[in-house]
Structure 1
Amino acid sequence: MQPPPKPARPYLLQYLRDAWLRFNLTRILGALALMISALVAGIVGFMWIENYSFLDALFMTMITVSTVGYEEVAPLSDAGKLFVSVYIFFNLLILAYLLSVLSAYIFEGGLRTMFAMLKNDQQIRHYSGHVIVCGFGRNGRKAYLELRASGADVVVVEQDEAILSAAPNDEHGPMAVVRGDATLDESLRAAGIERARALITALPKDADNVFVTLTARELAPGITIVARASLKSSETKLLRAGANSVVMPDEIGGSHMANLIMRPEVIRFLDMISGLGPHRLRLEELRTEELRPELRGQSIRQLDVRSRTGSTVIGLRHEAGGFTISPPSDLAPGPGDVMLFLGTEEQIVRLLDLFRAV
């Protein structure tokens, strides 16, 4: 027997409520004000023209507005008939205006946005082993696109609607988004922090990145955290807060520009690996346990990766923590070791097809 579906989460209900309030709030309030004014005008008009009591005037106003066709309290005078004719005409205009506001909400995307948000929430609930990207600025967007291109499931946490609306269409499918403050526990929980394998925090302020790191490490002690920093002094704080790695884009950019002068061909080769060059190369890793059972325990020569796939074994990280660059052909990867491969996209795809266990 399947468990009953969980109710919508508080952050989602809050977002939908805010979306409703943001949608043409002036028009909705204007329509309500017109309706109230019409009711007041009807009551006052019947009391003044026909000398009705308040209760009789309210009754005549309601049956006139609702067009139910009940009999009048008393026969109307000529002035009363003229008043009712004009009153019905203006009420029809007000009703038409109210219907136009509601129709605009449905057809201009308000209702569709609500359904999309509910679908997005269900999508995130089914994710496991995904990556959370906090902040969708330049760095966060680039990280998102790279992760999606590599086939990873990604959830973006961003509270600025302008940034999200300016995001390009994702060719890999709809973007899973939590619209909220990444420094809040409920936003990270909504992104599935307990089920995620990694988190990238790329918020503009270093203090916010420190706070996200602390929160994420508390909510998911085993998660891998990569944090962005602008100041060198923030690097140590982020590492103390629990980040596994800290990236400083400004520092990397300066080194990159200097190396373009001193070592231009090396940088062009690195650009190919990072996907910035005209001929993109791809780095891939495989743990020994991920190899097909019949290939485990074989040496690099016996695996014959180069002739079978065209890719190259460029490194081997040992279980003990050491690293071997260009490992010798007689070296056999042991349990827990990780082999690093370099090749084109087609070569790496062929490598994974031939060597990785299904």
Structure 2
Amino acid sequence: MALPSHATLKRKSTLPVWVSITWRVLAVVFMFVLAIGVHWFDRSGLRDNYDGHVSFADVVYFTMISITTVGYGDIVPVSQQARLFDALVVTPIRIFAVLLFIGTAYNFVLKRTWDKLRMAVIQKNLRGHIIVAGYGTTGSEAVDELIARGTDPGHIVVIDCAADALESARSCGCIILQGDATRDATLEDVKIRDASAMIVSAGRDDTSVLITLTARHLAPDLKISTVVNAEDNELPARAAGATTVINPVSFAGLLLANSCKSQHIADYMMDLASIDGPVALTERPVMPDEVGQPLSALATGVGLRLYRNGQAFGFFAPEARALQAGDLIVEVIRTRDRSA
């Protein structure tokens, strides 16, 4: 992704909406008063084609008409000073006032209305999507891997509080929502009950556990994968409702330990975990023509484990000698047309 030619420091405004609108209104009023004052003190440079007399009301009228329109010609500047003031000051005030009102209307009315309409359309089409709560290093890697495995980015919804992280997710084609994933309203906005799975990677274990608890409360049957960094928090994450709990620190420690005694195990584990490797781990149900066959006889890959009635059995277990309908198989398959 191309980097911008310049960087800009930004932060969320601490001013309430009504204060921001008030400041804009006061700015416009100040410019109007300034123009009225100058026209009043230089009223000799104006000519009233109606009665020939320029009163204060005429000055107010002329100033308002000049700033908001091009004027009607009933009162006109005749002196050089008045014409220069109208050309060099009143005209910029007119442009600034118009832009200010248009910008205010867009920011506080049109943009919000348009965003609500777009959100309603997106929500209407959200079915079977994957929710990613937290778009840090782990969350972004998960999204990249999902896309590499063939998931449509338009079926991935990213929730984060950081605007820059969300902008990165949007550049990948994902649907984004800036908000707090620990709140019911936020998860309901992304249609959590209609989602197929959720990845929780908030960066803090306590936040991840709370998000998991909130998600499980709203969607009892949702598949939730939660990332925790401390081993002590794996049990709370499962108790909160996580279907799968992943500890990247522990996994990295296992790979480091294996790399001390073996040269290739860590590389092979990375190949299994990533779609970019020549092999990959997959999970699928047993096909009808495989019922009755041993796990070792799979034609699609190398069978490692099967799940039957919620229990896991390795390829060496007696249960693996004959597959049954309803079994789930974990196997190693080839992802590229070359030897693993």
TM-score range for the pair, normalised by the shorter chain length: 0.7 to 0.9
Contact 1:316 1:327 in 2 (8 A): no
- Change in Cα spacing, 1:184 to 1:31, as seen in structure 2 (3 Å) is closer
> How far is the alpha carbon of 1:136 from its aligned partner?
0.7
Identity across the alignment (%) = 23
C-alpha distance in 2, partners of 1:284/1:202?
22
Task: Report Cα offsets for 1:183-233 as digits up to 9, x if no partner.
Answer: 122221122211112222111222211211111111111112222222233
> How far is the alpha carbon of 1:118 from its aligned partner?
6.4
The number of equivalent residue pairs is 305
- Change in Cα spacing, 1:49 to 1:95, as seen in structure 2 (3 Å) is closer
- 1:96-175 to structure 2, matched below 5 A, reads 96=95, 122-123=121-122, 125-152=124-151, 153-166=155-168, 169-170=171-172, 174-175=173-174
Contact 1:314 1:327 in 2 (8 A): no
What TM-score do you get using the length of structure 1 for normalisation? 0.70
Task: Report Cα offsets for 1:101-152 as digits up to 9, x if no partner.
Answer: 89999xxxxx999979965764454232222111111111111122222334
2:303 corresponds in structure 1 to: 313
2:30 corresponds in structure 1 to: 37
One-letter code aligned to 1:71:
D
C-alpha distance in 1, partners of 2:188/2:171?
26
Q: Alignment partner of 2:306: what SS? A: strand
Q: Alignment partner of 1:264: what SS? A: coil
Structure 2: gaps of 5 or more residues:
1-11, 44-52, 105-109
Contact 1:315 1:327 in 2 (8 A): no
Structure 1: gaps of 5 or more residues:
1-17, 106-110, 348-358
- 1:140-289 to structure 2, matched below 5 A, reads 140-152=139-151, 153-166=155-168, 169-170=171-172, 174-275=173-274, 279-288=277-286
Q: Alignment partner of 2:305: what SS? A: strand
- Change in Cα spacing, 1:113 to 1:59, as seen in structure 2 (3 Å) is closer
> How far is the alpha carbon of 1:326 from its aligned partner?
5.4
Contact 1:313 1:341 in 2 (8 A): yes
C-alpha distance in 1, partners of 2:87/2:269?
76
What TM-score do you get using the length of structure 2 for normalisation? 0.73
Task: Report Cα offsets for 1:277-299 as digits up to 9, x if no partner.
Answer: x84312222213xx3x5x26352
Contact 1:200 1:227 in 2 (8 A): yes
Alpha-carbon RMSD across the aligned residues, in angstroms, is 4.1
> How far is the alpha carbon of 1:160 from its aligned partner?
0.4
- Change in Cα spacing, 1:329 to 1:189, as seen in structure 2 (3 Å) is closer
Match of 1:63 among 56, 61, 65: 65
> How far is the alpha carbon of 1:330 from its aligned partner?
8.8
